[in-house]
Structure 1
Amino acid sequence: MESKLCYALTCTEDLEHLLSNPEEGAQIERTKTLFEEIRASVNNNEEQDRSFWRPVLPWGGVYTIRAGRKAISCTPLYVKISLKNTCTIDGFLMLLYVILRENETFPREVGLFLGKDFVEHFLYLMDSYDYTTVKLLWIWDRMSKRQYRSEVNRAALEIDLFGNEHENFTKNLENLMSTVQESLCTNCNCPARFQELLQRTINISPPRELPHRDLIQSAVDEFFCPKVVLCNEAGCDGLREFSHRVFCHGPPPFVILNMQMWRSENLAYVPYHLALCDHRYSLEGATLFNKEEHHYSAAFQIDGYWMHYDGLRSDNLVLLNKPPELLLLSSLVYIRCSDK
């Protein structure tokens, strides 16, 4: 089911002002970033206390804004925006934050795709624990270009993000992971002899036959490798030759592998390292799906320790002895290793 906006919606002047001036919306000034706080709690952890000291990115949220300056009454009209089913973006927002804070050069690289201002506001709001505004920043800055085209509605608003996390997050990363693969048909009379196949996400399927090496690496190799298949153009009996698939803008700082087509029995082993387009990537995290609750959560590592984030729980950031069982895996997230 696609996510939907229950009432028509546009950015008000107040929200636009807040997002362009995040300092005014911050509720807490910190000497440490949220990432540094989490890292300290991990390294100073005692066995009897395995959770972070406060909730991080709680599920849902309520945000109050002024409805506008053209109200008839002199008393400002305030509107509450309620967020529901935010788990479709929560886990990835947490992973994005950890990736950007843990790798010094990544904010600049990601800023080339998502915008420098967005990255700066995102990090500032996360470090200020202003989590509802973080979610609204993503919805308006990223998702509004696709899902939410709107009109002004002076009423109580509700944004329901029920749906698929790849629709709500991965596809809104602009061209960060976009790849292109060229193909040429051997039939000179083919109606579409030369083609370019552009994809903005990395969707991999389990190999049809079990390879002699890692399944996920094999599936990634198949996604990028050249191949020859029968041409599917109407009236053409030629062979279509595909080139190597390459990234349109060079190797991205991180990649998200869409794993929704994989069954649990195919995932007994998840590689910690991945070879991808002549670069080495290492496992940073994953998003998990609870089919019974239709709910997403996430796992990531800091300094070799694995943590599980679940916005629905009261203790929603918990240190684990080992990575969680990846039985219902939605995504794998790998970061590019340093050239050194």
Structure 2
Amino acid sequence: MESDFCCLEDADSHLNHILISSPDEPGRIERAKTLFEEIRASINNNDDNDQSFWRPVLPWGGVYTIRAGRKAISCLPLYVKINLKNTCTIDGFLMLLYVILRDNQSFTREVAVFLGKQFVQHFLYLMDSYDYTTVKMLWIWDRMSKRQYRSEVHQAALEIDLFGNEHENFTKNLEDLMSTVQESLCSNWSCPARCQELLRKTININPPHELPDRDTIQSAVNGFFCPRTDLCKEIGCDGLREFSQRIFCHGPPPFVILNMQIWKSEELSYVPYYLALSQHRYSLEGATLFNKEESHYSAAFQIDGYWMHYDGLRSDNLILLNKPPEFLLLSSLVYIRSSDK
């Protein structure tokens, strides 16, 4: 099921605007089950001899054909279809976002505050309806800036290449959903920047220099959020800078994405199911994985306690796992606020 696009172009830019018809538009034929309901049913009715979902889910790439109609506007340069390449930098997170929102209905309104009510409604409608190419187009035009992808026209086809880093293409486009703030004060009254306020839109945690006795990931999270005292780094200042407890700017978000790109496999022998973030409890929902040899991202997530692995490049791209995945090639860990689960 596809939605009608209206592309508004000018001579200096390929991509300016996208409009998607309302999910409430009359005349639509709704499917008996949404994608999420189909996935959940396949888990509950699983045959041990068949671990894969019955149809491809959110396949890599995509081709969107622009259909002429009363809303169509001529484009300069003219193209009649859009080819998507290297979409794995958003595919895994789109799958995780869909599962999180459908499995936690109370999160939808919270996420809509940051991403927009219309975006969230369209996103869920398109995923529910198996309209995978259109949902990628929705993310590209609504959430990404033109600096984050390459585009050019080839023989009446616009090619959009998303090759790059998934945290640049997805995590950083979640607006202020995960924004945190930490204040600091230098002990030196002559410090040129004695009072500071440090804002972060993402959560990047560094592995500890020495492996602690307890959980390394929780220790790294504590290092990001907890108060500390360091030498002041301002030029010409020899004071001590005290950092306050880091807090979420807009209250605890429904989910958090921990950027784990610089962690090594030996530092990930234990991945905690529960995590304390700024005095709030979160539980593990999924992860994204990075294959360096293929420069390719995939994802893992759980529904009703069962783990599934998603890889848009594979023909059977959604697989039910017999056990939790090994998090050895992590790009990110995704935790949800457990009080709402």
TM-score by length of 1: 0.90
Is 1:200 matched with 2:205? Answer: no
Is 1:294 matched with 2:295? Answer: yes
1:166 aligns with: 167
Aligned residue type for 1:305:
Y
Shift of 1:31: 2.1
Aligned residue type for 1:303:
D
Q: Which blocks of at least 5 consecutive residues in structure 2 are unaligned?
A: 1-11
Is 1:234 matched with 2:235? Answer: yes
- The answer on whether the counterparts of 1:181 and 1:197 sit within 8 Å (CA) in structure 2 is yes
Larger RCO: 1 or 2 (CA < 8 Å, sep 6+): 1
1:220 aligns with: 221
Q: Secondary structure at the match of 1:333?
A: strand
Give me the whole-angstrom Cα distance separating, in 1, the residues matched to 2:217 and 2:91.
25
Give me the whole-angstrom Cα distance separating, in 2, the residues matched to 1:149 and 1:314.
26
Specify whether residues 169 and 326 from structure 1 end up closer, same or farther in structure 2 by C-alpha distance, changes over 3 A only.
same
Shift of 1:28: 6.5
Give me the whole-angstrom Cα distance separating, in 2, the residues matched to 1:181 and 1:252.
17
Give me the whole-angstrom Cα distance separating, in 2, the residues matched to 1:210 and 1:151.
47
Shift of 1:145: 7.0
Q: Secondary structure at the match of 1:236?
A: coil
Q: Secondary structure at the match of 2:339?
A: coil
Aligned residue type for 1:139:
I
Is 1:9 matched with 2:10? Answer: no
How does 1:113-192 map onto structure 2 within 5 Å? 113-144=114-145, 147=148, 155-192=156-193
Give me the whole-angstrom Cα distance separating, in 2, the residues matched to 1:154 and 1:27.
33
1:40 aligns with: 41
Count of aligned positions: 326
Give me the whole-angstrom Cα distance separating, in 2, the residues matched to 1:321 and 1:21.
40
Specify whether residues 25 and 129 from structure 1 end up closer, same or farther in structure 2 by C-alpha distance, changes over 3 A only.
farther
Shift of 1:297: 0.2
Give me the whole-angstrom Cα distance separating, in 2, the residues matched to 1:24 and 1:153.
34
Aligned residue type for 1:333:
V
Shift of 1:147: 3.0
- The answer on whether the counterparts of 2:282 and 2:337 sit within 8 Å (CA) in structure 1 is yes
2:266 aligns with: 265
Aligned residue type for 1:197:
L
Is 1:60 matched with 2:61? Answer: yes
1:69 aligns with: 73
Give me the whole-angstrom Cα distance separating, in 2, the residues matched to 1:299 and 1:325.
10
Shift of 1:156: 2.2
Q: Secondary structure at the match of 1:171?
A: helix
- The answer on whether the counterparts of 2:79 and 2:153 sit within 8 Å (CA) in structure 1 is no
1:307 aligns with: 308
Give me the whole-angstrom Cα distance separating, in 2, the residues matched to 1:58 and 1:240.
49
Shift of 1:23: 6.0
Q: Secondary structure at the match of 1:274?
A: strand
Specify whether residues 152 and 83 from structure 1 end up closer, same or farther in structure 2 by C-alpha distance, changes over 3 A only.
closer
Shift of 1:21: 2.4
Give me the whole-angstrom Cα distance separating, in 2, the residues matched to 1:120 and 1:26.
18
Specify whether residues 326 and 246 from structure 1 end up closer, same or farther in structure 2 by C-alpha distance, changes over 3 A only.
same
Aligned residue type for 2:73:
R
Shift of 1:104: 1.2
Give me the whole-angstrom Cα distance separating, in 2, the residues matched to 1:46 and 1:178.
43
Shift of 1:332: 0.3
Q: Secondary structure at the match of 2:266?
A: helix
Q: Secondary structure at the match of 1:338?
A: helix
Shift of 1:64: 1.3
Give me the whole-angstrom Cα distance separating, in 1, the residues matched to 2:240 and 2:293.
45
Specify whether residues 236 and 85 from structure 1 end up closer, same or farther in structure 2 by C-alpha distance, changes over 3 A only.
same
- The answer on whether the counterparts of 2:79 and 2:158 sit within 8 Å (CA) in structure 1 is no
Aligned residue type for 2:201:
R
Specify whether residues 10 and 151 from structure 1 end up closer, same or farther in structure 2 by C-alpha distance, changes over 3 A only.
farther
Provide Cα deviations, 1:286-319, integer angstroms capped at 9, x if missing partner: 0000000000000000111100000000000000
Shift of 1:71: 7.6
1:3 aligns with: none
Give me the whole-angstrom Cα distance separating, in 1, the residues matched to 2:41 and 2:73.
45
Q: Supply the RMSD in Å over aligned alpha carbons.
A: 2.5
Q: Which blocks of at least 5 consecutive residues in structure 1 are unaligned?
A: 1-6
Aligned residue type for 1:9:
H
Give me the whole-angstrom Cα distance separating, in 2, the residues matched to 1:105 and 1:146.
33
The percent identity for this pair of structures is 79
